[in-house]
Amino acid sequence: MDNLVEEVGEDYADANLPNQHWEKRSFTDCDFTEADLRELVTTGCTFTRCDFTRTDLGESKHHATAFRQCTFDRTVLTRSSFTSCSLMGSNFVDCVLRPVTFTEVDFTLASFVKAPLYDLKLGGQRFRETNLSEADLRNTDLSGADLMGARLLDAKLEGADLRGAKIDANGLRQAKLAGAVIDVDTAIAFAAAYGLVVS
Domain limits, the chain: 1-106, 107-199
Distance of CA 69 to the CA centre of its chain: 12
- CB 119 within 8 Å of CB 138: yes
Topology classification of domain 107-199: Pectate Lyase C-like (2.160.20)
Q: What per-residue confidence (pLDDT) applies to 5?
A: 79
The verdict on pTM exceeding 0.85 is yes
pLDDT tens per residue across span 76-116: 999 999 999 999 999 999 999 989 999 999 999 999 999 99
DSSP state of 108: T
DSSP state of 4: P
Q: What per-residue confidence (pLDDT) applies to 2?
A: 56
CA distance 160 to 98: 17
CA distance 74 to 106: 21
CA distance 61 to 77: 10
Q: What per-residue confidence (pLDDT) applies to 195?
A: 82
| Most distant CA pair in the chain, distance | 63
Strand order in the sheet with 5-8: 5-8, 25-28, 46-48, 66-68
Q: What percentage of the chain exceeds 90 in pLDDT? A: 87
Phi and psi based region of residue 184 (left: phi greater than 0; alpha: psi -120 to 50; beta: remaining): alpha
Let me know the angle formed at the C-alpha of 177 by 198 and 135, rounded to the nearest 5 degrees.
Answer: 145
Classify domain 1-106 by CATH number: 2.160.20.80
Under-50 pLDDT residues of the chain? 1
